[in-house]
Amino acid sequence: MARKNRIVVTSPDLARVLAILDSHSKWPHRRIHHCELRKALEQARIVAPEEAAADVVTLDSDVRVRNSKTGLARDYVLVCASQADMTEGQISVLGSLGAALLGRHQGDEVESPMSGGIQWLQIENVRQPQRIQLNLAA
């Protein structure tokens, strides 16, 4: 099950996601998960990018999730709404699955409404591009 404690979000991710949420706040089709995401961000533990654990889902992370019911695994990249492209596996942080993944850890299980109802997905692997960049710079 998803952790009930606060999510972990890097300070640059917080700024990016809040700006996106603010730009979408007047849209008539705003979703309930947008409000839930904002609330989670308000309660999040904010860290510098270099302080984020390697297993935390951040923006631009490659994430592998496995459906707890079917066993099917899928790979995604968590991106800003303007970069989302499901055919390429790039999911928006404003989508229900993207909002559920942000700030969670490898091993967590998240719930997401999908076609066919609520799906429980376990986060199997997280690869953060900023961590790779930090390691290359060291």
Token pair for 128: 């953060």
Over residues 15-40, the pLDDT tens digits come to 999 998 888 766 655 567 788 889 99
Dist CA 88 CA 36 (whole Å):
26
Q: What is the DSSP letter of 7?
A: -
- Residue scoring higher pLDDT (6 or 11): 11
Q: Which residue has the tokens 């935390």?
A: 56
Of the pLDDT bands very low, low, confident and very high (cuts 50, 70, 90), residue 130 is low
Q: Supply φ then ψ for residue 114, to 5 degrees.
A: -140, 175
Of the pLDDT bands very low, low, confident and very high (cuts 50, 70, 90), residue 61 is very high
Dist CA 74 CA 72 (whole Å):
7
Model pLDDT, residue 23: 82
Q: What is the pTM of this model?
A: 0.86
Q: Hey, what domains does the chain have and what are their CATH numbers?
A: 8-137 (3.10.50.30)
Report, in this order, helix, strand and coil percent for the chain, each rounded to 5: 35, 30, 35
Which run of H or of E encompasses 117?
strand 117-127
Over residues 80-128, the pLDDT tens digits come to 988 999 899 999 998 889 999 999 999 999 998 877 788 899 999 999 9
